[in-house]
């Protein structure tokens, strides 16, 4: 070894010079370059809700011959041909682990539950693009295929590439758009899983056709592949469940030894499928499918390995894929004609096939087209498929570039088209129609709340306002204290004799880019058992035991949200006006952005919507004192009833001393109406109404007041400064 190689740049060594005996130096520079550029490109794309794979492929395209490769000496200096094998090794290991993670995402019980609709949508959605792909493969084969390649191999691969749906990207889009628990989301999720499994099988067939020298070899490879798949699904799965993971399944914790065995099985299976002439990723995918899903094992295993895969290895893999795409080589008119035709055929055939299948399953046309748009997402899986075809010699670099551009465009269009075709207003209309609350023309079947008659001075406050379910959010462990304070106020000290309302605690988790979060979100959409939910999070399990002790009816759920839709995601759990949605948060998080979100949700509410309460509970003191505030100029009669009903519950439980009601005067309110309010409050809760101008005399305890988004920041600031917890109520 030369002295300069040992002394580094101090001894005059060029750090970007590739040295076969020490390739790590250049590799580290290339990894930094690729990962850093991926992050920069993803920043603007993330604002448009685009998946990270688009940024990773664009990074490779920019680094390759399309853009920076035209700079003299750039490729030879930064990405010399002799260094590519090192990058390829890391990238291939990453894609093996990535396909293992994809296998972990496949929820077999969910498929069995929705097998009829999943198969019908999947098969129709794959058949149309498969057939059109076969048709367009004739022209591509005549213009671009290598002379030695069989047309049958080329046809199968092109058809498979056209009908692929990227399940990992699809599931993330469904979660971010809050579609998982709607019938569109359920249908797409089930069909996407089946599409993923069938797609990998068809890809294995095309690779087998390319690698086999004769028809008899193809048959032998297919038989061995099927045999290995059955061996993994039955004997190996039995060995995992009954022997290797037996103690872990009993204890509920995944041990280090079990992880070691699973990872060894991944490499063994990958090695076997590689040596028989298929591809190592199929072996990894099979092992991912058979890992038990009990006690959150899949999520726990994913959390332990996904960061290294997604942060380092996968960006390198997709950057290399983009590096192999040379868009500058598409110089002829026929090249761009085929590229545009591929984009149109890929999008139209997937959207049309999905829409037809969804309509056949009873969805409305707008819902059906949404299913088709979502199923047209190519994303990560398409790039993997294309890279395999390029490495196997099935397609040339020019055709590879065309398909990469098609994959980028179809993936980019998925989210905006879905939001355009299936807006929030239409989704709410479909949900209310499905619950029988209105007909399709928008006419309400539910009678609206009784409005007051100002002429007689009567009020509707004396009507029964019934709360069947209280929804309460938990995000941090500190939220549990405010929950216990609120439930003691509402239900009274233990033992509680009341059987209602049900306390429905929603554990809110932010949807990050982690695969573990994605698996968790899809599991919640599959309506998991109560035991699975409580095993998944120790806080919900602890709360269940505490509520069983106090005899308060309890149900726990887990919900995933994206930051910009945190409040909307939580509010979506309400079903009707007998639900009381309590959103607990510290006063420090009440800002102008939250006020705007509240205003948007209040303005978009429909008839019969749930009562909403924002609980600001910064104090650690037990709530023993309660006051109410009523402001006629800012709230509806319906909200008045909610405030009175909550006061009645607290008074009946004898845990909170209900004081006088603070009425903020409004000159426009007739005296008769105020007198009716005073009478109703007195008869309901034996509470005195007092006119006041300020909140200076509220004192310690809890103040229940109307929620006014325009003034909520100042109102919460003044009450928190005075040490008063507040529950702001609106409809």
Tens of pLDDT along 31-44? Answer: 999 999 999 999 99
345/446 Cα distance (integer angstroms): 46
Largest Cα–Cα distance in the chain? 102
For 634-646, what is the mean pLDDT?
Answer: 63
Q: Is the pLDDT of residue 175 over 90?
A: no
Report CA 456 to chain centroid distance, whole Å: 53
Report CA 62 to chain centroid distance, whole Å: 29
DSSP E strands: which ranges in 511-606? Answer: 554-561, 579-584
305/97 Cα distance (integer angstroms): 8
C-alpha radius of gyration, the chain, whole number = 30
432/328 Cα distance (integer angstroms): 52
Token digits of residue 554: 């309890």
Q: Which CATH architecture has domain 27-429?
A: Up-down Bundle (1.20)
Residue 197, pLDDT score: 87
Kindly state the DSSP code that residue 449 receives in the 8-state scheme: P
Question: 329-360: per-residue pLDDT in tens?
Answer: 999 999 999 999 999 999 999 999 999 999 99
Domain extents in the chain: 27-429, 491-617
DSSP E strands: which ranges in 245-375? Answer: none
Place of tokens 């806080």: 539
Q: Is the pLDDT of residue 321 over 80?
A: yes
Say if residues 407 and 152 touch (Cβ distance below 8 Å). Answer: no
What DSSP string describes 168-197? HHHHHHHHHTT-TTSHHHHHHHHHHHHHHH
Q: Which has more pLDDT, 674 or 71?
A: 71
What angle, 0 to 180 degrees and rounded to 10, lies between the N-to-C axes of helices 397-421 and 115-144?
A: 140
Q: What percent of the chain has pLDDT over 90?
A: 40
Question: 367-426: per-residue pLDDT in tens?
Answer: 999 999 999 998 888 999 999 999 989 999 999 999 999 999 999 999 999 999 999 888
Residue 519, pLDDT score: 86
Question: 648-702: per-residue pLDDT in tens?
Answer: 777 666 555 555 566 655 555 566 666 666 666 666 666 666 666 555 555 566 7
Residue 182, pLDDT score: 86
Tally of helices (H runs) and strands (E runs) in the chain: 31, 10
CA-based end-to-end distance of the chain: 76
Give the 3-state secondary structure of residue 113: helix
**Strand 724-730, strand 469-474: pairing:** unpaired
Average predicted confidence (pLDDT) for the chain? 83
Kindly state the DSSP code that residue 450 receives in the 8-state scheme: P
């Amino acid at each position: 070894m030369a002295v300069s190689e040992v002394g580094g740049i101090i001894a005059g060594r060029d750090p970007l010079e590739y040295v076969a005996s020490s390739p790590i130096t250049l590799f580290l520079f290339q990894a930094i370059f690729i990962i850093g550029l991926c992050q920069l490109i993803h920043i603007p794309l993330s604002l448009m809700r685009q998946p990270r794979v688009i940024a990773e492929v664009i990074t490779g395209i920019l680094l390759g011959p399309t853009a920076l490769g035209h700079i003299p000496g750039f490729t030879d200096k930064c990405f010399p041909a002799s260094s590519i094998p090192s990058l390829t090794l890391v990238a291939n290991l990453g894609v093996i682990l990535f396909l293992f993670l994809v296998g972990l995402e496949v929820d077999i019980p969910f498929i069995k539950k929705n097998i009829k609709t999943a198969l019908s949508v999947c098969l129709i959605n794959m058949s149309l693009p498969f057939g059109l792909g076969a048709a367009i493969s004739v022209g591509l084969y005549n213009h671009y295929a290598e002379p030695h390649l069989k047309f049958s191999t080329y046809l199968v691969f092109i058809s498979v590439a056209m009908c692929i749906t990227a399940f990992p990207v699809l599931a993330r889009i469904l979660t971010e758009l809050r579609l998982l628990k709607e019938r569109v989301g359920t249908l797409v999720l089930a069909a996407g899983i089946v599409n993923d499994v069938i797609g990998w099988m068809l890809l294995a067939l095309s690779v087998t056709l390319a690698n086999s020298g004769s028809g008899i070899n193809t048959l032998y490879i297919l038989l061995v592949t099927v045999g290995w798949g059955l061996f993994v699904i039955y004997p190996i799965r039995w060995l995992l469940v009954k022997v290797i993971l037996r103690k872990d399944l009993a204890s509920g914790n995944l041990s280090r030894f079990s992880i070691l065995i699973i990872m060894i099985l991944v490499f063994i299976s990958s090695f076997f499928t590689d040596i028989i002439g298929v591809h190592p990723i199929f072996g990894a995918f099979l092992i991912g499918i058979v890992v038990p899903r009990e006690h959150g094992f899949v999520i726990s295993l994913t959390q332990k390995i996904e960061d290294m895969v997604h942060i380092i290895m996968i960006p390198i893999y997709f950057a290399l894929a983009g590096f192999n795409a040379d868009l500058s080589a598409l110089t002829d008119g026929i090249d761009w004609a085929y590229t545009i035709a591929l984009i149109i055929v890929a999008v139209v055939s997937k959207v049309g096939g999905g829409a037809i299948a969804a309509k056949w399953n009873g969805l409305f046309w707008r819902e059906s087209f949404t299913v088709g748009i979502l199923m047209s997402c190519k994303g990560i899986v398409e790039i993997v498929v294309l890279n395999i075809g390029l490495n196997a010699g099935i397609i040339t670099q020019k055709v590879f570039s065309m398909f990469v551009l098609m994959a980028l465009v179809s993936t980019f269009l998925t989210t905006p088209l879905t939001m355009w075709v299936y807006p929030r207003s239409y989704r709410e209309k479909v949900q209310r129609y499905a619950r029988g609350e209105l007909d399709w023309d928008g006419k309400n079947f539910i009678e609206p709340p009784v409005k007051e008659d100002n002429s007689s001075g009567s009020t509707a406050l004396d009507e029964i306002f019934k709360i069947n379910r209280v929804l309460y959010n938990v995000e941090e462990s500190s939220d549990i204290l405010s929950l216990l304070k609120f439930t003691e106020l509402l239900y009274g000290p233990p033992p509680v004799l009341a059987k209602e309302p049900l306390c429905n605690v929603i554990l809110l988790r932010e949807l990050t880019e982690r695969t573990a979060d994605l698996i968790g979100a899809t599991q919640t959409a599959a309506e998991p058992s109560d035991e699975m939910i409580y095993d998944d999070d120790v806080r919900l399990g602890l709360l269940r035991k505490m509520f069983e002790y106090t005899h308060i009816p309890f149900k726990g759920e887990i919900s995933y949200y994206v930051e910009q839709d945190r409040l909307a995601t939580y509010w979506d759990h309400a079903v009707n006006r007998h639900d009381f949605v309590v959103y607990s948060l510290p006063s420090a998080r009440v800002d102008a952005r939250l006020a705007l979100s509240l205003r948007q949700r209040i303005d978009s509410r429909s008839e019969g919507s749930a009562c909403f309460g924002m609980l600001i509970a910064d104090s650690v003191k037990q709530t023993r004192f309660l006051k109410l505030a009523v402001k006629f100029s800012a709230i509806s009669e319906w909200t008045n009833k909610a405030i009175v009903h909550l006061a009645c519950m607290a008074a009946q439980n004898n845990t909170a001393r209900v004081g006088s009601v603070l009425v903020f005067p409004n000159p426009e309110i007739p005296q008769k109406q105020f007198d009716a309010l005073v009478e109703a409050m007195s008869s309901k809760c034996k509470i005195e109404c007092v006119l006041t101008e300020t909140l200076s005399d509220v004192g310690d305890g809890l103040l229940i007041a109307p929620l006014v988004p325009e003034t909520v920041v100042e109102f919460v600031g003044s009450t928190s400064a005075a040490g008063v917890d507040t529950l702001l109520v609106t409809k």
